[in-house]
Each structure stands twice: as structure tokens, then as C-alpha cells.
Amino acid sequence: MPDVQRATRDAEATRQRILTAAVDAFAAYGFDGASTRTIAGSAGVDPRLITRYYGSKEALFEQVVEKTYEHPLMMLPGDNLVMARSLLSDPPEGQSKGLLLTIRSAGSPRAVEIMQRHLAGHYQRDLAAGLPDGIDAAARAALLIAVCSGVQLLRNVLDNTALQGEASDAVVERLAAALDLLGS
């Protein structure tokens, strides 16, 4: 009789290898350019396992978006020094991959729909709920996300030299003040 616990563990390990390979592939090639065959090859599995575990390339992309769009920091007025310092520091690897998969998948209407739905339905909604009452919290949350995405793009993708290296306390404080203003 097969060991059910071991099979479950192996299945979860296989799911994780596929997900990790998919993050890398979508970051490198975008939604349209990444093939399930490439993802499976990088994960060291048969391409049919993608369908078995995720259902489709699109469903796998949704899981990748969920993973790479995780945001542990909320940009709430008065608490943005941490966020500003984080934005002006070297990002965790997954954060850069999330930005790259967004940029490289923006040409696909279906990928854009998935990314928009996730961003608005999760992160933007949660951020808006945490902002103080005032004019259009959803729009203020979207502005905060846009500013942060722009800083990440310039610093971590385009390697803007003015944003490289350790940011001065004055620059961090100005970015924090701007985030506070947008959120209030």
C-alpha cells in the first residue's frame, strides 16, 4: 500500500516547484511568452502536471500573481517611514519579479484582467479600508500603489542612479511625507 503522507508531501513539493518555476518564467517572458512546457522543464516535471495541479496556464498565472503581489507593508499615514526606507532599499527577490511579470505581461488583455482583479480586489481594497476617512479612499490607495510602483520601476528595473545605494534620511523622510499626504 502506498505511503499517503509521503505522496501528499511530494505533491505539495511538486506544486511549489511548478509555482517557483512559473514565477521565474512569467517574470522573464510575460504571460504570453512563458509556455507551460518551459515552466514544466524548469520545475523538472511533466507538463501535464501543470494542468493536474493548477488546471491551466491562466490559473497558474493567477496563483503567481497572488504570490508575487503579496504586500506585507501598508502605507498608512504616519507609518510610512518603514515603507519609504523599504522602497529605497534593495528589494526582496520576489518583489522585483512581481514588477517584471507585471511589465512583461501588460500586453496580454487576459493577464491585465487577472492582475487588475487581484490588485483592486485585494491589496488596493485592504489599503483603502485602512486609510482615514476622507475623499475617495480607493483612489488614494491606487495613488499610493502607483507611487510605490514608480519608485520600484525607476530604482529596481531601470537602475536610476539617483535612487541607487543607501538613501539619505532626508530623501526617505520626503518620500514618507509624500505617502502620508496621499493617504490622508
Q: Could you tell me the pLDDT band of residue 82, with boundaries at 50, 70 and 90?
A: confident
Q: Could you tell me the pLDDT band of residue 106, with boundaries at 50, 70 and 90?
A: very high
The gap from C-alpha 37 to its chain's centroid, in whole angstroms, comes to: 23
**The CATH homologous superfamily of the domain defined by 4-67:** Homeodomain-like (1.10.10.60)
Task: For 24-64, give the DSSP string.
Answer: HHHHHHHHHH--HHHHHHHHTS-THHHHHHHSSHHHHHHHH
Q: Identify whether the C-beta of residue 182 lies closer than 8 Å to the C-beta of residue 137.
A: no
Residue 135 pLDDT > 80? no
Q: In the 8-state DSSP scheme, what is residue 150?
A: H
Which residue in this structure is represented by grid cell 521565474?
24
